[in-house]
Structure 1
Amino acid sequence: MRLLDRAAALFARHGFDHTSIKDVADAVGLSKAGLLHHYPTKDALFTAAAELGRGKAHEVAGQAMRLPAGPERDRAAIELMTDLALEHPGLISMAAGVITEMGSDSTHPLLVPDSDELSMFAVFDVDPRDVDSERLVRVIGALSALAVLSLAANHVDRKSVWRRHIVATCLAALGHPSP
């Protein structure tokens, strides 16, 4: 899991074309041959990282969707996503690319968002194609804030201290008052 999280971070930071197997191997303390033993190609490594991220997102979505749409589900989703983001910053970096790549002509097929990758919008009961929706803007704002703040919290080693502030900021972006 740590290996795939690190790989996801490197792919998010440098892009698929500019991330080498050696870069990932160096980042996780493996030899290139050792990494290739687990993931025979860069595509396989990228796909594994993307699938892990999608799997974690689906777990979060499944838990949050047990609640009816509304403020309680929004809070549950934000709290679950914040915990995921603080634990796996590489996966969140890669997932944030889905939002920034919406509607782009990205060359790698896994970077082009599809309905599966955008399922997180369903958690917040918003259609990502409704570009005139204030709710869509708020959801994108909350998800973007969550990504940036969780990455910053990891960078300054303040995950537990910042968690409640990240949740409050994201809920405020969604239009919910702080508790």
Structure 2
Amino acid sequence: MTAGARRGRPSSEDVDRDVLDVVAGLIARRGIKDTAVQAVADRSGYSKAGVLARFTSKDLLVEAALAQCAAQTEAVLRAVRDLPVGPARDAAALAGITDLALARPGWAELALAAFTLHRGDDVGARLVPVAATLLELFGTDPGDPTATPLDRRARVSGAFGAIVMLALTYEDDASAAEARPHVLRVAWDALGHDGGFPHAAGEVGRVG
């Protein structure tokens, strides 16, 4: 199911965001070189001409998709930046990431690729700022990640990986609203916190 199919009568801005999310997912899976405009059209449900009427070239599509991914990640960071490192910030960060991943599967794939993608083109290098922002969400200094204990880094990686995996596979079993508390609980447990996910604290991280 595409993002556009989830909503009725999307605005022009919604259509653009939906198309760019499709591009993000394709880049994560295929790299820039093998991401074709026709594939974007096929997966988004629009014609190739319709896609090119909004983004006049593949280069513009790619640039806009990468910029959207970075901006979406930065929006989550802005929502939690003033919180001290600790359970409340973790809860807010998990909520922001989970909501974004459930709403934007292309973002989820590309954000994961920021840590895992190794290709012959420049995708990995272009995603370095996204990876840095995701680390900063959980209080890890992107300039010196080893200053954070290995156990904490492993738990953050596990929580993020769980969110992405669950967000990309939930649709056959539940709606996004039904899946959300389960995703948050799994990610919260991965971080090693006791008790259930503190939903009130998590509301701070919700964006958009």
Report the TM-score, using the length of structure 2 for normalisation.
0.77
**Structure 2, unaligned stretches of length 5 or more?**
1-16, 197-208
Write the letter of the residue equivalent to 1:141: G
Does the alignment pair 1:109 with 2:135?
no
Residue aligning to 1:44: 60
Give the paired residue count: 176
Q: Shift of residue 163 of structure 1?
A: 0.8
Are the equivalent residues in 2 in contact too, given 1:146–1:170 (CA < 8 A)? yes
How far apart, in 2, do the equivalents of 1:7 and 1:177 lie?
38
Deviations 1:37-91 (A, max 9, x none): 2223222212211111111110101101121110100001101111111111111
Identity %: 32
After TM superposition, list the pairs within 5 Å mapping 1:57-136 onto structure 2. Answer: 57-101=73-117, 104=118, 106-112=119-125, 113-115=127-129, 117-127=131-141, 129-130=145-146, 133-136=150-153
Q: Shift of residue 116 of structure 1?
A: 5.2
Within the candidate set 172, 175, 186, 1:158 is matched to: 175
Deviations 1:86-133 (A, max 9, x none): 1111111111101113xx4x3332432424541111111124541862
Residue aligning to 2:4: none
Residue aligning to 2:206: none
**Structure 1, unaligned stretches of length 5 or more?**
none
Report the TM-score, using the length of structure 1 for normalisation.
0.88
Are the equivalent residues in 2 in contact too, given 1:145–1:170 (CA < 8 A)? yes
Q: Look up the SS of the partner of 2:35 in the other structure.
A: coil
Q: Shift of residue 18 of structure 1?
A: 2.4
Residue aligning to 1:12: 28
**More relative contact order, 1 or 2 (CA 8 Å, 6+ apart):** 2
